[in-house]
């Protein structure tokens, strides 16, 4: 199969974008309510749905045969390195701002989800247009 032929692939990109939207909405919601006390029910539900979408994406990705896995991991690992740094800096900013433990844990979870989701999206977006790895 050539790279120009259409393949039916799962909606990995769409689910990754939905995850990003959930994490951004949850993060903005929490940042808008800090430093006063607020209920964490909505952000926790938001985070749980986002994590569920990431796990769904992992399962969907694992079932794609054939696929350019070398390209996926090459792009994904470098994007992951960058987004771990970005997420770590944001956790540091919230810690320096004396964010309470409960909101801090939810924010850290959202940032970890963000740091995993975007590299997965980048890797998939590049690898889907490459020739699948040979399985000789």
Domain count, the chain: 1
Q: Whole-model pTM?
A: 0.88
Q: Could you tell me the residue range of the domain that residue 121 belongs to?
A: 12-127
Whether 1 is in a domain gets the answer: no
Asked if residue 78 belongs to a domain, the reply is: yes
Distance, CA of 71 to chain centre: 18
71 to 2, 18, 41, 68: CA distances (angstroms)? 16, 23, 39, 6
Whether 135 maps to a domain, the answer reads no
Query: Given a cut of 90, is residue 109 above it in pLDDT?
Result: yes
- Mean pLDDT on 27-32: 90
Residue 106 lies in a domain: yes
In terms of C-beta density within 10 A (0-12 exposed, 13-18 middle, 19 or more buried), how is residue 110 classed?
buried
pLDDT at 136: 46
Report whether 52 contacts 121 (CB < 8 A). Answer: no
- Mean pLDDT rounded to a whole number for the chain: 92
Q: Indicate whether 31 pLDDT > 90.
A: no
Q: Is residue 122 part of a domain?
A: yes
The pLDDT assigned to 34 comes to: 84
Say if 136 falls within a structural domain: no
pLDDT score of 130: 92
- The verdict on residue 75 lying in a domain is yes
What pLDDT, on the 0 to 100 scale, is given for residue 85? Answer: 97
pLDDT score for 135: 66
Per-residue pLDDT of 73-101, as tens digits, reads 999 999 999 999 999 999 999 999 999 99
Above 90 in pLDDT, residue 57? yes
Q: Please tell me the predicted confidence (pLDDT) of residue 89.
A: 96
**Is position 133 within any domain?**
no
């Amino acid at each position: 199969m050539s790279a120009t032929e259409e393949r039916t692939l799962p909606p990995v990109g769409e689910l990754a974008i939905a995850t990003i939207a959930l994490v951004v909405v949850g993060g903005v919601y929490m940042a808008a309510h800090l430093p006063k006390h607020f209920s964490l029910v909505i952000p926790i539900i938001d985070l749980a749905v986002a994590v569920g979408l990431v796990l769904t994406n992992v399962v969907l990705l694992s079932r794609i045969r054939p696929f350019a896995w070398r390209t996926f991991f090459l792009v994904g690992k470098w994007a992951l390195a960058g987004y771990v740094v970005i997420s770590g800096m944001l956790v540091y900013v919230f810690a320096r701002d004396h964010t309470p433990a409960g909101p801090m844990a939810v924010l850290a979870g959202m940032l970890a989800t963000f740091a995993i989701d975007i590299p997965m999206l980048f890797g998939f977006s590049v690898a889907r247009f490459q020739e699948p790895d040979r399985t000789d």
